């Protein structure tokens, strides 16, 4: 099954974040809780974690991209 990893709600009034850095690449195997990326929202740095065990199939936005809260940023294949 393919799962979508979305940008979580990070605080009131925060509608978008910048993807500062990806820690994973397509083909990488991850466990629930694995740090996937570093996100920057205004003055806060947020670590995006996996909610599932699986394999990264696609990164939808490159590092440096600004994305909306709730937007899908990564696809993960789970068993």
What is the C-alpha separation between 23 and 35, in angstroms, rounded?
7
CATH number of the domain to which 30 belongs? 2.40.50.100
Q: The pTM is what?
A: 0.91
Look up residue 53 and give its two tokens.
């065990």
Count of structural domains within the chain: 1
Residue 73 and residue 61 in contact, taking contact as beta carbons nearer than 8 Å: yes
Show pLDDT as tens, one digit a residue, over the chain (79 residues): 999 999 999 888 889 999 999 999 999 999 999 999 999 998 789 999 999 999 999 999 999 999 999 999 999 999 8
Range of the structural domain that residue 41 is part of? 2-77
């Amino acid at each position: 099954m393919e799962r979508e990893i979305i940008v979580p709600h990070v605080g009131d009034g925060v509608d978008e974040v910048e993807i500062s850095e990806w820690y994973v690449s397509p083909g990488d195997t991850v466990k629930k809780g694995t740090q996937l990326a570093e996100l920057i929202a205004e003055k806060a740095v947020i670590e995006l974690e996996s909610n599932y065990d699986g394999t990264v199939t696609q990164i939808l936005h490159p590092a440096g991209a600004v994305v909306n809260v709730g937007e899908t940023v990564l696809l993960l294949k789970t068993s």
